[in-house]
Amino acid sequence: MLIYTPKITSRIQYSFQLIFDTVWKMDYQLTEDVEVFHSHQGAKLNYSNKQLADECFLKAYGLLSEKGILDQELIFDTWSELPIFFQVKDSFLPFDVFSASFYLVSRYEEYLPHIKDHYERFTAKESLAFKHGFLHRPLINLWLKEFRKLLQRKFPSLEFPKTQFTYQSTIDIDNAYCFLEKGFVRTTASFVRSAIQLDKDAIKERKDVLLGKLPDPYDTFEYQLKLNEKYGIDVVYFVLLADYGLNDKNCSVYSRKFQLLIKHLGDYAEIGIHPSFASNKSFDTLSIEKKRLENILKKEVNLSRQHFLKLEIPKTYRNLLELSVSDDYTMGYAAHLGFRASICTPFYFYDLEVESSTKLKVHPFSVMDATLKYYLKSQPNEALSKIQLIIDEVKSVNGHFISLWHNETWSDYKEWKGWIHLYEQMLQYIKK
């Protein structure tokens, strides 16, 4: 496929790579040369403001020729039962799919003024996707599915490589153990607190776990490994290795048992860093935490997901890039299921402030256990139905589904009572 455009900007280069290479995985070439375009005998597209002859003309809205971050006027319409914006006239498509995809994937709206939550995060309710009812759908993939059909009719000889639905499991270890490896001071304080509250059961339970009479409720790792082996699942663990703080209450980073657990998991899965809440205020803290994990694993760590999903674009991604992180899994919302970037395909981060594509690959997740339990107040059977709807959306476009779980979800303990089988039920649905 040859594509003509009057000027190949960094935004145009990025957007066409996103669609043709990242999603469609097909060969294409961009040119600014009209004569080369006219003489080309194969499939070709004209992406500009003016039709040249009788070629396939996709009218440019203008966003990809701009620089800087401006408040865009977004007017919505419908095409093939899908919401669209950046409409154009006298074009192969009724809207500029390249500009619209760029707007969503670059997270353009997150650079604009918005109201943050109490953790200073961009929320789903502030997003275009939530306000216009498509948060639960990978809209870009759905646009491209329809676009592809039209191109195949226009160019019957054009071949699109086949793609398949894929799944990746990701598990955050915020707190590997409920009672173990908390250190003398924290453990003593917990006993004192339970004594003040006259909670004899809590005292006995903690004592029995510490003495080895009972297993720690959050130590569900062997069960996870067996499940993922049974279903042949690709897994990534993200480990919190922070100093103790208000929002970082993990096990002691110096615990030998905790470190051996990390090494053990590393024999069966990829391990990434789970940068602490505190690391958002300090690059040095982020660097120290990553180095801790590398020292435990004795190898470089390239994967990351922010604790509390604390993502501040572009600052967070720039910090990760500076530490040679190649893949980040934070792109999602805490309070809602769905697609934060409106896509279910991993993509490279584009830094709008410097107008440049980067080498950081963003892996968007769409389902989290804590969202279902704490924010949506779902029961396990209701949670499964909600997950299945998301999976169906991803399967409809042969996309990549990523879920986010925590080790305590399998504990069948206290608030997680009754949730132990949900993950396997999800896997069974995926494999159907």
Walk along the chain (432 residues) and give the pLDDT tens digit of each residue.
Answer: 999 999 999 999 999 999 999 999 999 999 999 999 999 999 999 999 999 988 999 999 999 999 999 999 999 999 999 999 999 999 999 999 999 999 999 999 999 999 999 999 999 999 999 999 999 999 999 999 999 999 999 999 999 999 999 999 999 999 999 999 887 778 787 778 888 888 887 888 888 888 899 999 999 999 999 999 999 999 999 999 999 998 999 999 999 999 999 999 999 999 999 999 999 999 999 999 999 999 999 999 999 999 999 999 999 999 999 999 999 999 999 999 999 999 999 999 999 999 999 999 999 999 999 999 999 999 999 999 999 999 999 999 999 999 999 999 999 999 999 999 999 999 999 998
Has residue 159 been placed in a domain?
no
Burial class (CB in 10 A: 0-12, 13-18, 19+), 266: middle
**C-alpha to C-alpha distance for 203 and 218, rounded to whole angstroms:** 17
Same domain, 198 and 150: no
Same domain, yes or no, for 345 and 363? Answer: yes
Number of domains the chain is built from: 3
Task: Mark whether 192 and 259 lie in a shared domain.
Answer: no
| CA–CA gap between residue 122 and residue 312 (Å, rounded) | 8
Residues 208 and 260 in one domain: no
Give SS3 for 188. helix
DSSP per-residue string spanning 140-167: HHHHHHHHHHHHHHH-TT--------EE
pLDDT of 293: 98
Pair 400, 279 in one domain: yes
Do 146 and 6 belong to one domain?
yes
- Helix, strand, coil percentages (3-state) for the chain, rounded to 5, are 40, 15, 45
Q: Coil, strand or helix: which one is 293? A: helix
**Rounded-to-integer distance, Cα 293 and Cα 297, Å:** 6
CB atoms within 10 A of CB 156: 8
Q: How far is CA 50 from CA 40, 56, 65, in A?
A: 18, 11, 15
Whether 367 maps to a domain, the answer reads yes
Q: Which parts of 146-286 are beta strand (E)?
A: 166-173, 235-239, 270-273
- Asked, for residue 161, whether it belongs to a domain, the answer is no
Strand 44-48 versus strand 2-4 pairing type: parallel
CATH classification of the domain holding 258: 3.20.20.370
Plot region of 90 (φ>0 → left; ψ -120 to 50 → alpha; else → beta): left
Residues 174, 150 within the same domain: no
List strand residue ranges (DSSP E) for 319-399, in order: 327-328, 347-351, 356-362, 367-368
Residue 29 lies in a domain: yes
Give all strands of the β-sheet with 29-31 in edge-to-edge order.
Answer: 29-31, 2-4, 44-48, 56-59
Q: Are residues 84 and 224 in the same domain?
A: no
How many Å from the N-terminal Cα to the C-terminal Cα in the chain?
Answer: 36
Kindly report the length of the chain.
432
Contact between residue 174 and residue 274 where contact means Cβ atoms under 8 Å apart: yes
Q: For residue 10, give both structure tokens.
A: 């960094």
Are 12 and 98 within 8 A, CB to CB?
Answer: yes
Alpha-carbon gap, residue 406 to 418, rounded angstroms: 15
Q: Cis ω on the peptide bond leading into residue 380 (within 30° of 0)? A: no
Phi and psi torsions of 225, nearest 5°: -60, -40
Q: Is residue 111 part of a domain?
A: yes
Q: 202: domain range?
A: 184-212
361 in any annotated domain: yes
* Domain match, 57 and 202 both: no
Label residue 409 exposed, middle or buried (CB < 10 Å: 0-12, 13-18, 19+).
Answer: buried
Secondary structure E strands in 6-155: 29-31, 44-48, 56-59, 77-79, 82-84
The count of other CB atoms within 10 Å of the CB of residue 106 is 25
Residue 399 falls inside a structural domain: yes
Query: At 398, is the secondary structure helix, strand, or coil?
Result: coil
Q: Are residues 305 and 389 in the same domain?
A: yes
Same domain, 135 and 203: no
Domain assignment present for residue 160? The answer is no
Both 191 and 316 in one domain: the answer is: no
181: left (phi over 0), alpha (psi -120 to 50) or beta: left
